[in-house]
Structure formats: C-alpha cells, structure tokens
Amino acid sequence: MRIMVIGAGKVGRTLAEHLSSEEYDVTIIDQNEEILRECEDRLDVMCVHGNGANAKTLIDAGVDHTDILIAATAGDEVNMLVCLMGKRLGAKYAIARIRDPQYNESLTLLQRELGIDMAINPERATAQEISRLLRYPFASNIEPFAKGLVEMVEFRVQSKDRLNGLALKDLASKHPGLPRVLYAAVERSGDVTIPSGDFVLQDGDRVFVAGDVVTVTSFFRYLGRDTLRIKDVMILGGGRISYYLAKLIVPTGIRVTIIEINPAKARKLSEDLPQVNVICGDGTNQELLEQEGLSTTDAFIALCDRDEENLMTGLFAERHGVPKVVVKNNRITYASIIESLGLDSVVSPRHITGATLLRYVRARVNADGAKVEKLYRLLGGAAEALEFEARLTDSYIGIPLKDLTMRKNTLIAVIARRGKVIVPFGNDHIEAGDSVVVIAKERGLRDLNEVISR
C-alpha cells in the first residue's frame, strides 16, 4: 500500500515512522530540506522536497498511484486544500488533520464537500482521553471498545491490594466477591506479559483489565479505588486541548481553572469559556499554583507546549498531594523516566493520532475481511489492543475457542454481542457481527483470521 504524508512536522514524522515500521510504502512531502534529510537518515521512506499544496508537486510524487493521502501540515486550510486536490488527482483516500475549534461544528459538511474521507483532531482526541481519566481517577489509562460497551483500564497494583501476591487462577477462590474481569496485559520491570492463570501479581505491576463498564467499575470499587470524585480541576496551559477539555467537563459540574501565561490567549479563553476561571500568569511558578489553590484541587492537568514543563509541574503537584495528576508528553524516550517518578497518567497527542491512523490504514488494507475497527497501543507500544468485527464467512464462526488455534502471544480479551459483554473461556465461541477485542504483543495484525483459525 502506498501512503503519502504531506508535512514533516512532529505529527507527520511520527505517522511516517509508525507506517514505515509496518512496511508500508511511505512518501513524505515537505518544504524544509533539513527535516527531510533527517527523515531520510532515520526512516525507510521516500522524501520529496516541495509544496504539498502544489498540484505539480503532488503529481511528481505519484499522487495518482497513492492509496491513502494524509495531510498533516500546520495549517487546517492547507490540509483541506491538499485533500481536495489529492482526491481530484487520483488518490483513493484522503485524511486531513483539522484542529481549529471553529471547524468542529461544520466538519461533516467540509468532509463531504472536499472529499475528505477522515478528519483527525489530535487535541480533541487527547481532551476526550483526559476526560475519561477524570471520570475514573483511579485509573492510569482508559480506552473504550465496542462502542463504549467494553473498557480496558490500566492501573498499578499496590501492596495493600487484595490482588497482590496471588496467582490469577486463585483470585476467584480467595476473593469470591471480586468481579470477573479479563487480565489482558501486565508490565513488570520493562517486560510485558500476556498473563496465564499461573501469573502472580506483584506490588508495582502495571495491569490492564477489560470488561463491561459496570463490571470494571465494580472491580475497582471492590479494590477500594473509587473513593475520589473529581470536582475541581486546574489546567496548566491554555491551548486547544485545554479548550476542548473544558468544553467536555464543565457541563458535568466540574469547576475548572486554566492558567495561561499569554495575555491575549488568556483573554480569548475567558471570552470563549465564561464558566471557566482563567488566570493570566506563569503556571510554572510554584507560588502562583499554591495561591490559586493547588493543594485543594482534585486534579492537575499539565498541558504546556514543552514536555519538560509538564513533567516538572506535574511532579510538583504530585508532591503537593493532588490526588490525580495528568501530564502531556510527546517524547517516547521520556516514558521510562516519567514512570519511575510515579506519574502514571500520561497523554500524547502524537501517540493517539498514530494509533488512529494505523487503525484506518489496516482497515483499508483488509477492507474485505474482519478488519481492524479500533487500535490502541499499550505500555508504550509493547503490545496492542485491537477490535475486530467478525464476519459470517470467517472459518472460526460458531466453533468453541478451545477447538481453535490461537496465534502465539495473542489473547481474545472480550467479545461484545448484541449489547452483552462476554469475558471468554474455552467453551465460548464467536458469532457473525461480534466485536472481538484482541491483545497482541506482535504489531501489524490486520485481520482476525490472522489471530485465530480452525
């Protein structure tokens, strides 16, 4: 499959890196020769110097033979223009990064009129992920599947937990009241495991569990993790993520304070978000944070442009006893450092965008099979959670799972069927139309038939 990425900025390069690692034929177009040289040195991609909004540049780069065109420049208008021209010049599918809130309400119309097959908004998607973390503050990360019926939640085992020191197969007998969830993946000392029944949970393990919303909530209530209710949120930085996040959580009754150092941005936020307390000041100033009530807030969200500032202010809030701290970080190399410092809830717009695009690309590659409906990278990309829709013609339909062959290092985590969520065992089976969530340590899976077979 041939994929063309217009714009070699942070998002464009990240997308090109993800796509080339899965052996897609990737072409990058950008006007910055220095950035293109860096891409050529680091990535297995073809680089073209030029303006991606110029028809001649697109034609010379082979847009007429392109399966998916991704417009990821810094300008929303440029991205929309690129998609319009790309489709007219022969690209089969077009994806545009559209970030500005002013386009959000008319997005459906824009997509239809400009031939945009998919619009991605990293900031809005990041805000949605943070809002889920605020609804379930006991979790490090939360990802919904099967149209919200299934949730996969990451948490860290604590020494006081009833799970600590027990093998998974013994949990039901030792704790008969413990709601039954699927233990999908565990990370310990940098090693990721898809656990079997003999696996013994230990203090400090990062664990992903999956199940329906009610069961997952009951599971954490049993562990005593649901005592915190978020009522007050302090946000550092007044960018687009902060705007989208405030729009999502203010209607739920949460009180929001945003600290923004730029007077013009602070004024605009105050006008656009009249129910939000907007403070113009330096949010990295510890005295200002204390004066604005950091020690009494329920959640602190660090959304500055600089990862280093997010990390330092996040640590300060953690040390101040703020119950829930979320930091934005786009540098994968910082992940282990952040984890070692105790900051578990980390969001990355680039990571979210990359996973969204990979799901779409894999679905397009396998449009006739049990294609990927959703993709979520777990534990820094060491494993993946994928959602497939089972098809009537697939060979595994109706056969008990115990009688099927399972791909190594994969696990059928959850089956969603007509509004019911099933944590599967050997006698369970898959029916046509089921949403099937799979955990895999291997990247690049594009079809449920690659996971299970007769």
**CATH code of the domain in which 310 resides:** 3.40.50.720
Q: Which of 322, 348, 378 lies at the terminal end of a domain, its last residue?
A: 322
Say whether both 252 and 307 belong to one domain: yes
Query: Is there a domain that residue 217 lies in?
Result: no
Query: Is there a domain that residue 415 lies in?
Result: yes
Say whether both 298 and 395 belong to one domain: no
Q: State the residue range of the domain holding 265.
A: 232-322
Output the tens digit of pLDDT for each of the chain's 454 residues: 899 999 998 888 888 988 888 888 999 999 999 999 999 898 999 999 999 999 999 999 999 999 999 999 989 999 999 999 999 999 999 999 998 888 877 888 888 888 899 998 989 999 998 998 898 888 888 888 888 888 899 998 989 898 999 999 999 999 999 998 999 999 998 889 999 899 999 999 999 999 998 898 899 989 988 777 899 999 999 999 999 999 999 999 999 999 999 999 999 999 999 999 999 999 989 999 999 999 999 999 999 988 889 999 999 999 999 999 999 988 766 666 776 677 778 888 888 887 788 777 876 765 555 567 778 878 767 888 889 989 898 899 999 999 999 999 899 999 999 989 998 988 999 999 999 999 998 877 888 989 998 8
Q: Which of 104, 120, 136 lies at the terminal end of a domain, its last residue?
A: 120
Bridge partners of 3, per DSSP, are 26, 68
Say whether both 379 and 435 belong to one domain: yes
Considering its fold, how many domains does the chain have in total?
Answer: 3
Q: What is the spatial distance between Cα 415 and Cα 428, in angstroms, rounded to a whole number?
A: 9
Query: Is there a domain that residue 328 lies in?
Result: no
Question: Any idea what the CATH number is for the domain that residue 407 is in?
Answer: 3.30.70.1450
Q: Which of 76, 97, 120 lies at the terminal end of a domain, its last residue?
A: 120
Query: Is there a domain that residue 24 lies in?
Result: yes
Query: Is there a domain that residue 253 lies in?
Result: yes
Query: Is there a domain that residue 33 lies in?
Result: yes
Query: Is there a domain that residue 134 lies in?
Result: no
Say whether both 402 and 303 belong to one domain: no
Query: Is there a domain that residue 176 lies in?
Result: no
Q: Is the pTM here over 0.85, yes or no?
A: no
Question: Do the Cβ atoms of 71 and 7 come closer than 8 Å?
Answer: yes
Say whether both 303 and 373 belong to one domain: no
Say whether both 94 and 10 belong to one domain: yes
Task: Name which of 405, 396, 385 is nearest 434 in CA terms.
Answer: 396
